[in-house]
Structure 1
Amino acid sequence: MKRRDFAKLITAGGGLTLVPSCVATGKAGKMKPGSKDPRELSADVAIIGGGLGGCAAALAACRNGLRVILTEETDWIGGQIAQQGVPPDEHGSIETHGAPQSYRDYRDKVRNYYKQNYPMTEEARNRKYLNPGDGSVSRICHEPRVSVAVLREMLNPYISAGKLELLIRHKASGADVQGDEVRAIEVTDQDTGSAVVVHAPYFVDATELGDLLPMTNTEYVSGTESKKETGELHAPEVADPRNHQAFTFCFAMDYQPGKDNVIDKPKDYDYWNSYVPDMDPPWAGKLLELNYSNPRNLKPKDLGFHPEGKKTGNKLNLWLYRRMINRHNFLPGTYDGDITIVNWPQNDYFKGNLIDVSEKEFNETIEGARQLNLSLFYWLQTEAPRPDGGKGWPGLRLRGDVMGTADGMAKYPYVREARRIKAEFTVLEEHVGAEQRKMVAGPEKGKTAPDFYDSVGTGYYHIDLHPSNRGDNYIDFGSLPFQIPLGSLLPIRVNNLLPANKNIGTTHITNGCYRLHPVEWSIGEAVGCLTAYAMKHNIPPRAVRSDKRRLADFQDWIRSQGLETHWPKK
């Protein structure tokens, strides 16, 4: 299939443009613009990637007086919470602490958006901590398009004031680098093919895969490090830069009882219907079954499924897991039924990799994930076991309108792992893994993560690594509430490029707890503040960390803006 045809197939007027972040687009050094007469733009900081980290960085930089250019390769900002369709994965204290105030403001705005614009029941409207979908995975499961609306609302005052220029459907396509400095980044309009060359003193890589790192010759790592390299308890004996966690193409669906919405049998259905993942330790059985490997002990674990939300015994009902609309929160007749997001073990795609591969392999991997999704959906419609002994739920319906696409798939795959900068400081399992922390620090000190002197944020999530494309099964174990060290945001050499997504100085292991929604936001906001502080004081970002008095001043300054650098003492 030709690339342009495939792009039309999955984007439907806006979404993923199938140009891998590793091949011909990654031009470093003297830039050769993609068009003969590229448009030239300049700002104080250019943020490439409009996910949560990119949006948070833009908000912080604009708030502190900088002129910002923010680019996004799809037509939706919001990254994993919007274009990828993933309801927020958060810790239990998120309503009060463990993230910047601006992130909690975002969450409050989402709730208010529903209360002000949707026909809700009085009970739901009066609920302080409204969860629109009442999904079990999050305290605030909501629609991707609401994320986009709220984030645009937060950015619009700066756009109106001329402080922020937002370029959607623009993908990084080249870089101009001189020594240790990035001088310009080229982005290409995905609809017209025209180029824009962006000049700025500072650049932020907020892309989902760390696209700017190879383009700018910024040192990075990918895949798994070896135990010898990191000393991590759960690291493998041999490093493998091509060993990455599965990614997932999420999709949305609802259920219409009595209707026949069965799609045509997908072309790869027979393959996926008999597919048994080749994992070590072994997978529970076939992929398209209502079971999986329990992440904590890797033993087979049964799952339930009932699209009317009914109980499935002691089994998790996958319908409720990431449900984003609970029809009972809205006035009768508003919705035909609930709407849920499918981001399950059954559509994790671990038969390919998106990083540092050819364009052909990238496209084939994306299409493979799409075919898995269609096969899973068809299996649910026709063969999934029902509590009454029957098979299949033909009333299931793909909701591409919810995802902003024609085929029901998200605009972009949910990427759990990106390229990671070689940083001044790398977060290791001994810092955040509960078991190894106790081994290193002792029983008492090991009860908490280390107090990083250069902390610029906080976060918490268990270390959660999904099965990999090289056959690793789940790696899932306890962690400790942690801090985000400034050193993990500073490349070892390049002076004016900063990461603001999953591309910070973590390892394959610790990425498993630093990749979640509020942590990405925290990283982005810290980076946006850092660029503003560096420009105000006319110093490079790494000088903030190297001077203890300057660092203390910076930390006081960001705390005054609602960023958290420490967890509350118990």
Structure 2
Amino acid sequence: MSELRTGILIVGGGLGGVAAALAVARCGHRAILTEPTRWLGGQLTSQAVPPDEHPWIEQFGATASYRSLRDGIREYYRRWYPLSAQARAARHLNPGRGSVSVLCHEPTVALAVIEAMMAPHRAAGTVQVLNAHRPIAATVDADRVSSVRFVDEATGHEVDIHADYVLDATETGDLLPLAGVEYVTGAEPAGETGEPHAAADAEPQRMQGFTVCFAMDHRTGEDHTIDRPADYDRWRAADAPVRPAQQIGWPNPEPGHGVLRPNPDAASDEKVIVSASHTGRFAPPTGWSPIADLWRFRRLLCRHNLTPSPPSDITLVNWSANDYHGGSIVDVPATLAAANLRAARQLSLSLFYWLQTEAPRADGGTGFPGLRLRPDVTGTPDGLAMAPYIRESRRIRAVTTIREHDIAVADRGEHGAVRHADSVGIGSYKIDLHPGTHGGVRMYAAAHPFEIPLGALLPVRMRNLLPAAKNIGTTHITNGCYRVHPVEWNIGEAAGHLAAYCLGHGTEPHQVREEPRHLGTFQSILTSHGIELRWPEVRGY
């Protein structure tokens, strides 16, 4: 057993944890940042998911440091990749030309940029990073966490880290049960939240499904068919425990679903997605290829951006067909969590095998044997992502809980989202709930651009533990739009600044919110570091 001491301990090196560590270092304080995997970056790297962002991201609606991350990713491609003249000249270069975001890219590039952003602080000794460290216990005294114990997954060695402030930036709020922090999981009852679409009763295990993503390319004329996965028959069965239809298969086109049309402006076989104007269900037009549509959605690298062009694009598979809803990995016995994670990996491998062998093609044939997993993209031996893509975490019982009727367009109408005097950032995303690990249906609803209240970062009781990721005071429903990349970064950055402010001013987080002189000073510090607290008001349009 060894011991370390720091002013601020950040547990979890995802986007929130990285943003928090950078904020702490910029404020002149010291932090230790722990991460259970080999890669910093969470959603963007070890989970391999390119950013989900709002339509105005290039103009406003993100912190300055998040913009630095995005700019760094584009600069990396310009500096090191053989971009075509057109791609190099693009102001808003989209390396993957994916449709999910204006910046789709490989996770390894995001990792390189994050490491570069962290490098000067690591060299100066203001940030110490401990990879492969998982929290296993916490010591609490009078509503304060005094230390957290970790195990080094590589060596089995244990270390106690003592800190004045502890930030939980883990993917599933792992510190909350270890420290006895009040929290909630899954769906709250309508009687508690008053939300129009809340469940009738509390359903703690009804969390959004998680996904083991994978990267793949296609080599025409080659056969890269993998061995038939052990659980393939289970996931091909009509009663697979997820969707009303078979778990594995093409999605059914719905009204408004993208339809591929030739792009007359492209000097290649590139196509664009044109929104369908059909009403009701519609039959796909002749030559419509689901794989072409899905391929483009989270494409990480478009070969036509490079010269000479490589044989294939690289795309990421994060589809409804490999969303795992068979069970949770949160607040269940360790053996069950491991079994569910294994099953999720089998689901993804089964989907890939189906694509290679059975997927119906537009030409009437079946299977795409030229599809190939890309372990070099995910940093793993098998091409599956290093960690599962987590959409929903444990969430603190907070001073302020953000509810559906605070942000939903259906409830707020033209009034916009509720304004918060204690705002520490902003974000925007639709309420996007995937079916849950214990039932639940798809929910997709419009939400106004929203603010992040400081009260949502304050546990009702604990004095020195702060959430710094997807574990703030949201509900099951509002988590559906506060969980995305730029919002998680903003939350972590605000939490890092808050801990640094409290250390520097001899105060506590709750006092910062309650005392106007502290709140005003703290918000001024946030804005001076490029954190936007309000959405711009647009008039006369």
Matching residue of 1:552: 520
- Within the candidate set 294, 302, 310, 1:318 is matched to 294
SS of residue matched to 2:160: strand
- Work out whether residues 46 and 200 of structure 1, in 8 Å CA contact, stay in contact via their aligned partners in 2: yes
Q: Which amino acid aligns with 1:427?
A: I
Q: Give the match for residue 134 of structure 1.
A: 97
Amino acid at match of 1:97: F
Out of 230, 234, 254, the position equivalent to 1:271 is 234
1:283-294 map, 5 Å: 283=243, 285-292=245-252
Matches within 5 A, 1:103-122: 103-122=66-85
Q: Is the 8 A contact 1:284 1:292 kept in 2?
A: no
Q: Is the 8 A contact 1:173 1:188 kept in 2?
A: yes
Tell me, what secondary structure is at the counterpart of 2:217? strand
Q: In 1, Cα distance between the equivalents of 2:301 and 2:122? A: 31
- Name which of 331, 337, 343 aligns with 2:318: 343
From 195, 205, 209, give the equivalent of 1:232.
Answer: 195
Conserved? CA contact 2:82–2:308, under 8 Å = no
In structure 2, the residue matched to 1:396 is 371
Alignment correspondent of 2:22 = 59
Q: Report the CA distance between 1:522 and its aligned residue.
A: 0.4
Q: Which residue of 1 aligns with 2:266?
A: none
Uncovered stretches (5+) of structure 2, i.e. residues with no partner = 263-268, 273-286
2:492 counterpart (524, 538, 543) = 524
Asked if 1:423 is matched to 2:383, the reply is no
The RMSD of aligned alpha carbons is 1.9
Match among 327, 331, 349 for residue 307 of structure 2: 331
% identity of equivalent residues: 49
SS at 2:216's partner residue?
strand
Q: Deviations over 1:44-103 (max 9, x none)?
A: 100000000000000001000010100100000000000000000000011111110110
SS at match of 1:519: helix
- Asked whether the equivalents of residues 309 and 319 of structure 1 are also in contact (C-alpha less than 8 Å), the reply is no
Q: Which amino acid aligns with 1:530?
A: L
Provide the residue aligned with 1:463 in structure 2. Answer: 431
Contact between 1:292 and 1:302, CA under 8 Å: does it hold in 2?
Answer: no
| SS of aligned partner of 1:374 | helix
Which residue pairs with 1:49 in the alignment? 12
CA contact (8 A) 2:62 2:531 kept: yes
Structure 1 residue aligned with 2:130? 167
Classify the secondary structure of the residue corresponding to 1:43. Answer: strand
Q: Is residue 71 from structure 1 mapped to residue 34 from structure 2 by the alignment? A: yes
Shift of 1:253: 0.3
- Offset at 1:189? 0.7
Q: Which amino acid aligns with 1:482?
A: F
Distance of 1:293 and 1:278 partners within structure 2: 22
Q: 2:510 aligns with which of 536, 539, 542?
A: 542
* CA distances 1:473-496 after superposition (whole Å, capped 9, x unpaired): 201101000000000000000100
Letter in 1 for 2:228: K
CA distance in 2, matches of 1:325, 1:346: 22
Equivalent residue for 2:276?
Answer: none
1:436 deviation in Å? 1.8
The answer for the alignment partner of 1:20 in structure 2 is: none
Counterparts in 2 of 1:301 and 1:104: CA distance versus 1, 3 Å = closer
Is 1:566 the equivalent of 2:526? no
Aligned AA for 1:286?
A: Q
Q: Which moved more, 1:250-259 or 1:170-179?
A: 170-179
TM-score normalised by length of structure 1:
0.88
Identify which range, 103-112 or 270-279, moves more after superposition.
270-279
State the alpha-carbon separation in 1 of the partners of residues 409 and 289 from structure 2: 29
* SS of residue paired to 1:44: strand
Match of 2:148 in 1: 185
**AA matched with 2:27:** N
Deviation of 1:430 after TM superposition, in Å, equals: 1.1
- Aligned counterpart for 1:492 among listed residues 457, 460, 472: 460
Once the two structures are TM-superposed, the CA of residue 470 in structure 1 deviates from its matched residue by 2.0
TM-score when normalising by structure 2: 0.93
SS at the partner of 1:200? strand
SS in 1 for 2:101: coil
Structure 2 partner of 1:199: 162
User: How far apart are the structure 2 equivalents of 1:546 and 1:157?
Assistant: 35
